[in-house]
A and B are shown apart, each in its own frame.
Chain A
C-alpha cells in the first residue's frame, strides 16, 4: 500500500489525539500537583526533606477526603541540582502533565529558571524557600522569610545582648549582598554602627586573616550571612581561635540546612539566629507535625526550615482551593488574595495580598547543644522589603524581581 504525506499526517494526528484522551479523562478525576526539587546532587540536603514535607502534606490532604472531592496526585521531578533540568521539567509539568499547581525550586536561580514558564502557561506556582526578596509576579506565591523579616528581628535582639558595634561577614552573591545591606540599615536604625563589612566567594574556607582583622576592629557583635559548606569553616575557626566567648555571633543562614548538627556544641552554642521554624518550637501544631513526620518516615531529625515552608505552602494552596471551590487559576489566586491564613508548624502563615509573600512568625533562637532553642517569638512579621517595591493590587501585570534599594 502507499502512504502519502497527507494520510500519514492525518493518521498520526488522530493517534496523538487518541493518546491524549485518557490524560484529559484522568485530569478530571484527580488534582495534579507538580513538584520540582533537587532530591539528589549537592543541594539534596535541602531538597530531600522538602520533597518529604510535600508528600506528607499531600497525604494528609488526601486522608481527610482530598480537595473538592478529588484526590491529589503528585507528579514529582528530581532536578539533580542541575539548573538546566529545571526548565526542561517545567515544560514537562506544564505542557505534558498539565498540572494544576507547581510547588518547588530551591535556589533563586532555579526559581527564575521556571517562573516565566509557569507565568506563560498560567500554572499557579509556589516557591517555598527563604530568599533575598523582591519577586513581584501575580502568578507566584512565596512563603519563606525575606532578609528584612529576619534581620528586622535578629539585629535589635543581638545588639541588645552584645553591643552597638557590628562587623558583617557575608557571602559574595545577591543573597549575601542584599542581606548585608539590610543588616547595615537595621544596625543604623537601632543606633549602632557597622565597623566592618567583608564579602567572601562561596569557595573561601580560610578565615584566619579575617578573624585577625575582626579583632583589630574590635566589634561587640559579628553577624554572618555566610552560605554553604566552605563558609561553615568560619564558625569552626572562630571557635578554634577562642573568639566565641569574646564576641557573640549571629547568622541569617546557619541552621537552615540543619547546620547546628554539624557544629559541635562548643562551636555552636550561643550563636543567635532568627527563622520561621525550629524543631524546638513548643506548639501543638509543631508537635502534631513532628509526630506525623515520624510516623510517615521513621525519623524526624532532618526536618528543617525549608521543609516546613514547603509543608505550609502545600497547606496554604489546599485551603485556597477549598475556598475557591474550583481549580481555575484566577479563582484560586482571588482566594489567596483574600489574605487567608493557615496554622503551620512554624506558626500562623498569612498570605500578603499586595506582594504574594507571607506574613509569618519569626522566632529568635540560640544554638544550644546542637538544637535551636527558641528565645522569643515575634508574631506576624510583614515582608516589608518586598512591600516597599511591589504592589500587585495596583499593578497586577508586574513581572520583575526588584533589587531593593535601601
Chain B
C-alpha cells in the first residue's frame, strides 16, 4: 500500500504526471456524475433550436436535432470510458494469462497462441473492428469486445516475452528445483514481476481504445444511436460543418483532452515504473517485445 502511495507521490511530483492525473481525475468525475452535471437530456430533440450558437442556455450550442452539445459531450465521456476501460482491462487480463502460459509452458501451446496473436496483429485495429462489427452487429458490448480483441495480442506477445526472459532467471530455477508446480511458479513468481511493464502499457492503451472506438463510430460502426458517442458526434458535426462548427468543438476538445491526460499519466507511470525506458516514445509494448526476443 505504501508502495502505491509512494508511486502516486512520485508521479504527482512531475509536472506531466500532475497534469495527467488532474485531467484523468476530472474525466472520471465527469463520467461518474454525467447525469447530474449535464444540463439537458443528451437525447432530447428540439427541432426549433437546431444549430444554435453557444448561449447561456447551451454553452456549446446545439446540434442538427437541437440537442445540447455540452450534454452530449458529457454523456459521451461516460460512454467512452465505459468502453475503453473494460476493453483494455479484458485485453490485458486475457493477454497476460495466455502470454504467461505460452511463454512459460512453450511447445505446441506457445506456437498455437503465437499464431493466433499474430493473425490478429496482422490487421490494423480499425479494419479488424469494422470487419467484426459488421459481422456481429452494433452494441456497446460488441464494440468493447472488438476493441479488446484488437488489443489483446499486444499483451499476449508482451507477456510471453517477459515470461520467456524470466523463466531462466536463477530464482525461478531455484524454485523449480525445490519442487514447485507450474501454477505456483507462474502465478506467484512470474506474474508479479511482469505486472509493472504491462500496467504501463494498460495506461497508455486507454487513449488508444478511446480513439479506436471513436474511429469506429465515426465510420458508422460504433454504438447505435442515440448514444452520444464522440465519434458519432464528430461524424454528424463533420457532415454539417459548413452550417455550424459548434457540434464539432465539444467532441474534438474532449478527445484531445482525455487522450492527452491518459498519455501524460501513462508516460509518467512508465518513467517511474521502469527508469530504463524513460524518454522512449509510445508503443512501449512493441519495444519490450523486441527486447524480449
A, B: real partners: no
Residues of A in contact with B (beta carbons under 8 Å apart): none
